[in-house]
Every structure is written in structure tokens, then in C-alpha cells.
Structure 1
């Protein structure tokens, strides 16, 4: 499959995981140029309509959910008998691998992980979706400790018919709820039980129940209580102990009503506040009831978890579970599994049960005829000292207080929560729930429903710049969280957003943006350009580009050559980056143009005379000759050379005596 292109879009890069029904690949989306995870249904299930339906259910269930703690589903498709789901790629590891690597976790860290899983389940449960396979293998932890719940492959809408049979049980038996193991009615509280087993494993590094066969383990979920290991008693808080025990109650009605209650109790534990959600004697009462139903010897074997393989066949166990369901539903006597036991033992149990029934009948008849006054008051009390908590859901606070006070109970208002099921101003949750036996004066905490906040629709931010996205989010009253990633897109371009376009969130919510920081940097050795002229330097740049060019003068180096470069030669720099140069430029001083000017001198009347002309600017003698004035008609003309624009003064000597001075402008 490696290298295969699905949907003419997704290129499979490498296999990163495998489950019971599918393989998971890391892939690249060629359209959006991003890494994704693709779950591909295994070949052996392609023709299996049941598995195809489960695979389709996963896509539909997960696609309807959008939450920071749930793995996003982007696409689903089928091509050449390959059914696949395109999901968010998570850089991290699953919780099971983390437990194997690190062992048991500190209480604080374990509770933070459970809280995030609970928030993900709250999103699913709000849409009436039960996960049904909560286990560490389906929970991813990113490098920044963000928890992501995945694999809604066996998720199912929570309806009145949410029942699974023993033969059709799916998921991991170590994390099964008792009703899932039994094949009975399941609802959101079934996920809570599995979450409690995960918390147990995080804290203690082991599982509460183990066995040689899956059915053996399932029976332990049915008949054994989850108990805190004695050696760990002092290592976790009393609140966390109660949290585990409440989440893993065998009876649905004795667990938390919803996962948000778990979140609130974790908050209490983190702030060292007590939680009062659990009466430890409830399980014992349930257990004592089963002693009457099944008989002492059989119940003792369940209590001690002694399930010997030579006593049970798997078919017998399934038959036993089915029979037990009838007991739970009809309160009738159940048949034990087919066991290789002696007839005399059966007769002994029958005799004990018969004697017990006869004794009860005798006491009943005796009481009718003798009357209650016959017995001392300290022997029997026929009035219950406990009160069953009523349902306060849907009542106003005043109505709830009145109803509770009539029964001798107290109502305590805890807070308000958004809720779409119950009208604003009415009780939407209570603790303890309905039907829990408490003493007179016991306190019932209530939570009042409030109207949902105005929601803001998330706009499309992908493709724009980060600055534009921030401006839009600020206008909507939302907060951005920015994460950068290498991409072929321009820097600061928004590549991804969560929540997606069209999602509705409350004001003040956070929007996570994935922003391009440009292509991945590739380093390369910088070439040597010093000593080359500019044209030669340009030809030697390779994968670099020419940056700024400046000039300096060094008369010891050839004119026009490179004196220095930035970055320096033989260092490493990002491929495609600029190299700046300094070029040698020697200044040339041009001589001004020269001009010839004529100096005219009227000579003295002599037969001959020695004439000298001295440049007073430089002191140089520019003319020195003996001449005959008559030959020149008494006038001497001398041509002098000077620089254009220059003025000079000359002194004229006749026979070594100063004769005249004259200024010449060139």
C-alpha cells in the first residue's frame, strides 16, 4: 500500500498502526499539502457487510463531533475495494504505549488526562453517541500533553435499544462495563465504567481484572468489585479512591449520572475539596442480595475470583450469563453453568435453600399471629432508618427544596450550567441521584439549568494571513492559539483552523490556527566569492541569491573585485538566502583642463634687454631671454599655460630689475 494514491489526493507514506479491523497509514494530502492519518479497512473484511457497516458508523459518528480532545475526521472514501477514513494526524503516542513506557503515573497527571477524556466524552454524549470502546489504545497524547480520543468505530447512538449480546461484544474485555460483558442495556454510563478502569490503570500501572480467557475476565467484571490495591492505599487521595469506586460501580444506577460530574469532582480533588458521591456499603448490599439468589458456595467462588478452566466451557459461560440476565430482570432463580459436580452437592444446596425458605415462612406466620408486640423493640425494627433520594430533575429550586424537606432531606444549590434538556431555572442535575438510600438530614446538591450563551459562527480563515485572521477573530470576540509549521505556502499563511468553518462556539472561545513558516530550511555551504569581479561572483552563487552590493576602496586590491561577503565563505546558510557583497572601487582624480593665455609686455627703449617672467604663485621662472626691442616693434608677447579657471600673478624683470606686475586669468 505504501506509495498508493487514494482518491487521486492522498499518498500513503508509511504504516503507523494496526487494529483488529483496519490499518493506519501516515499520508500526505497533495491538495492541501498537509500530513494526515488514513485508516484503511483490512482486505479480509471488504466483503463483510457487518464490518463495512461498523466502518461507516465510525466515519459518521466521528464526523459529527468537533472538539479539541477528539481526533478530527476530514474525509471518507472508497476506491478499488479500499474503504478508508481520512483523519487528523497526531504527533504523539497512544496512552497504552505511554503506560508501558512510564508505568504508573502521578495522581495529578492521571487526573488531568482523565479530565480531558471526560470532556471529549461529554461532547459525544451531548450528541447521544456512546463510544463503547474507551481504552488506552484509543487515546492519543500529543507532545504538548493534549489528549485526543479516537476510534469511534463501534460508537452507537444512545437509544432505548442500545443493547449488545454476548456473542456480538466488541471492544477490549479488560475495559468492558458489566452490562457490556452481559450483553445488556448500555448508555453513557457504560463509557464512565470503562473510563474508571483507564484511571485505575494510569494510577496503579496494572488492570483490576485479569484472566486466562476473555470470558473469564468478563465474568470478573460481572461479579467482582474494583478494589484499591492495599499497597497503594497511601499513595492516592481519598477523593481519587472514591472517584474510581464510583465510576466502576457494577450497577449503572450507582455510577455518575454524566461525565461532567466527573470533571467537577476532579476539580474538587485538585483543590483539596471533599467529594461526597459514593456510599461504599451499596456494593455490599447488592452482593448480599446475590447470596440469596445464587447460594453460598457459588457466590463465594465469584467473590474469591476462582474461575477454574476445567469447570467451565465458554458456551456454558455464555449460557450462564444469559440465565443471570433473567434473574436480574425477573428476580427468579437461575440455573448454574454446566459443571462437573456431584449430585450430593446439588442436593445439599437444595436442602439449605429449602430450609431457609421454610424458616422465613415460619417467621412470617408466627409474626402474623403473635403480633409485633411479642418481640422486644431492640430485636427487630420494621421501620427503615434510611430515605431514598427523590428525583428533583425539572423542578425549580423552591419546588426541589419543598419536595426534599417533606422527606427530611436538605437541598444545597451548587451552581448553574448550560443545558438544553431542562428549562432554564430548573434542576438539571443532582447528587446523589434518585433512589440512593441516605439518612435523614442528608444534603442533595443540585445544579440549575441556565440558558445557552449566544454562539458565534466560525468563519473560514484558511488561505488568509495570520494578521487578517487575528483581526477577524478579535472582532468576533474569539481568541487565537497559533501553531507554526513548515509549508510550501507563503510565510504567515493560515493552513488549518480548529474549530472548522461553520462551527458555532461561545464568545471568548479559542480558535487554534496552524500557520505556515515557509518551506523547511535546507542548509548549504556558502561559496567563496572574495577576489572575484561582480560578474564572476554572480555566476558562483549556486542556490543562493545576490543580496545588497556596497562599495569600498582598497588601493592594494584590484579595482572592481569583491573585498568581503556576508555570510562568510564555507559557513552554512539556508538554501535560497541572500549573500551581500562589498566591491572595491578606487577613486580617480581627473586633472583640470589647461588653457594658453598670452602675456603682452611693452619693452623699454634699449638696443637689447634681458627679460625674465616669474610665476609668483609657484616662484618658477616661466620666461628668460635677451631680446632686441626694435626687432619686436617694442612689444613682447609670451604664451603662458595654466589650468582652466585658475588665476596667476606674474612679475616681469628687465635686466634683473623689476619692471612690471601682471595678473592672468586662465
Structure 2
């Protein structure tokens, strides 16, 4: 029933495992040979069936059981190295065992000599003993789960049988039939398994290795299961007379219908097996199996006389009359009547206390999922969990069941438990930086709806991209909540104000208020602009965008020059010297008529600083 595709070959799973080839298919999926690129080694990669991978309950249970199995370390146990998910694939990475399954060994070589059968059973029981000591019950011991290679006997799929419910098996009668052939009576009747259930299954494997036949063959799972509960376990020597009586007794004890009559666990069974093997001679252990020869049909043989037979032959009487087809009709009629009685009995059992019987569904609404599943299963019914949203029921509790509490339900049908996932909420996707079209699709895909779409300037988001949403990305909302979208028009344009001639502080405040940044060039002297005022700006006008920069040049005031002493000099020399230094010169004559033609005073004291270009007055007498 594998639903995994052959196209997996060549695919890389979880960016780690390169699938190289197909190994086998089973009830849970398909097994492939894969290269673990991280550790550069080959592994067996089990890919779960797609229908199981979609079942959230199964995936959660599978993770728990895989982790439990991974903790089990033993030479006779196939090691679990990794488990995970990749898109739609749920996978399990395991140790790759090169060899044959026990199923292939039985088909090709059985019946096996007692020594070989006991040796293989010894390895199986060692693996089960390690599991039982760790608190694990296999629940699905069958030939397909036993591998025989160069490294000996190894058992696989520990813990996974718990992950697969009856619901997941009923879709494939072959899978269920294969599992049913090794189910213990208590698993059939009550759906419960413990260490003694694994012992029962291991005993059936030993029987099959010794005889090459199933202990309870059948054409349907119900027929096989019925035999486990009500049938009589045959002895291996019935099929293969060379099987020693002590081995017959060992198989009978392991497969006792009452669990209390079996060894308590795999360790006890292993000790009994080794004791039996030690008591056998090499000849008995290595004797070639001799299967019983089927008796010929009645019309091809003469009935032999056996000791104790009630059949008598008269010496004087007429010879027996040859049997004809007409004489056999009564026998056929009797067989048919007996068959009808058996079928009727089985049918009556099946539709009453058997698997087709009806059981009232217990009340589990409001209970935690685990408690509810256990309650329904203890009532003798199967479960199927569906995850649903609920505004009122706490996450993980049962919202409703089908059928409802108190309704009758056949044991073969599943009770649907609808378990709350909590309120239905969806996260608003992160849309900043996306185009409007992409944002609309993402909102719709998130089970929300598009609200208003507006445009606004945004200094950090390019034009045409989403700048913000209300509610914001990542917030949890009810389905259908409107999400308002703001699309960026890019940076906002700003008219550059003219701040030349303004004091530095005023200019900076004016530019900052317009959303522009202010930078400064080197300060310059200016004869016309006061110190601390703006001489120039770049750009001087036009439009910028918010956040753009305007550079200002601030005045250091005029150039200052040291005034020389000109007192005592002639008016011409004084004027020439002052003008050469950049000063303006004004001449006054206090006495109205000059007498000495000599500078007797200057308006700026010698040695002091005066702005270049300023006027200095000299007094000439």
C-alpha cells in the first residue's frame, strides 16, 4: 500500500539524505537506501505513507515513539539515528542492515534445523529482552521486522507499532492480515499488549521457522484473529516430526492462550530456550527437518487398520463395495452442515462479543485527548482523532464525538474524536517591502481579508512597496479580519529654505524642522557677514527629500589686522602704511592750519587689532 513515489530516488531528504535505491514497502511506508551526507555513511530511510504523514495524531505519536526507540541501544536492535519531516515526507533514519528478512529466510529455507531456528530466536529474544528492560513493548513482532545479516540477528521498528493505530491498518487487508498472524489473544480481545504479548509473537516465529508454516493461517484478518482466541495451537512436530519434544513444549509454553501461563518477559523466555537447547544432543539440533507426508485422497488409497480401530472386516462376508461418488454425497452433506455451523458460530460471536459486536460510546467530551482515547479504547472501541478549532473548548480537549455518547458503535468502526486546537487564529503575514499585489495574495492566503489600501510618504521604504499594516505583521487575528495596508510613495520632497545671513542656531533649527539634516563646511572670514551668521548654503534652493543634507558655511567675521604706530610720521607715510595693511585712512587737522605736518594722534591705538578695511583717523598738526 505504499504511497511513496519511486521518484524519491535521487532526491535529497532534509538536505541531508540522498536517496539511492528502493529496499522494501510495508504498512507504514517504504524503505530506501540513502547516503547520510553529514556522516558519509549509508542508512535505511523509512518514508511514511502520505496518508499517515497527513494525520497530525499519528505524526505526534510517531515522534514520541521514535525518540523512545532511539534510546534503545543493543547489538540485536536496529539503531534509530534520526527522525524528522521534509515537506510532505515524515521519515526515520536507521542503521542499514545488509541481508535478508526473516520472512525471506522462512520462504527460502524453512523448515529450519532446530539449532538454526533456536539461534535466530535467541537473537530475537535478546533484542526484546533489552526493550522490556527499558520499559518498551514491541507489539508487532513478525518476520518482516527481523533482519538477518552479516552482523547477526537484528530486530527493527521498536515502538512504531504503538504509533500505528488500528485505523491506519484497516486500509490494507494484506498489512492487517500480516500483523494479525502474530497477534496475541489479549491484543485481539482487548487491544492491550505487554511483555507477554511479545513472547507470544516470538513463539509463533519459532514455530514458523521450525515448520515453514504459519500456526494460524487464514484468508481474512477476522478468521486469523478468531483462531488466536479460540483455536488450538498446533505442535511443530505435527508438521515436522523431527522437531524434538522439548522444543514442542517450549513453543507451547510461549504461545499459551492465557498470558499468565507464558514466560513473564523475553528474558525469561530466553533462559528457557537456552536451557532446552543445552539439553539437546548435536544430532537432535542438526537433524534435517522431515515434513509429514500428506495422506492420499480416499479414492486413491485403502484405509489402513490402526491399533484400537473399531473397524472390523468379516472373514466370511462379502468384500467391501467400492465407494462411488453417489455414496460420498452424505459425507459432503455432513461436512457442509458442519461448516455452516462453524460459520454461524463465528458469525454469532463476531456480531456479539467479537469484533463486529456493538458497544456504547462512553462520554468523553471535555476530557483531554489522551484520557479520551484511553477511555474509548478501554470500552473496546477504536479511535480516530480529528483536529478542529473551537472558541470555547481548551486546546487538547474533546469538543464532540461521532457517534455521540451512549450511542451504539460496532467494534470494527472507529469513534471519531474531534479535539480542540483552540480558537482559530491566523498570524498577519509580514508584508513590509512587498508589492501591493503580493501583499493582497499573502493576506488572502492567511485566511484574512484586505482592508483599506492607502499611500503615504516613507523615508525607509521604496516607492510602490508596503510600508506598514494595521494590524501589524505577526499579530494573531480571527479569520476574516481586515488588514489595512499603507503603500509607500517614497521619501517626501522638501523645499529647501534660504537661511543665508541667519545666525547659525536659527538656520539649523529651520532646516531641521523641514526634515533636513545640517552639515557644516569650514568657517570663512567675511567682511559683510557677522561672525556666527551663515555666509552660504548648499544647495541654496530647490527640492530635497526628508533626511537629505544641507551644508552651511558660517562666518568667522572680518580679517583682524594689528594697527601700527604712525604718530610722529608724516601724513603721507602714515596713510600709505595704513592703506597697505588694508585700512581706510581719514585725515583731520585739529589746528586748522598745519604747522609741523606731522601725525600727532591716531584713532586706534598702535598694537591693537582692527578689522581689515575699517577706517583709522589720523590727526595732523
Q: TM-score, normalised by structure 1?
A: 0.40
Q: TM-score, normalised by structure 2?
A: 0.43
Greater relative contact order (Cα < 8 A, sep 6+): 2
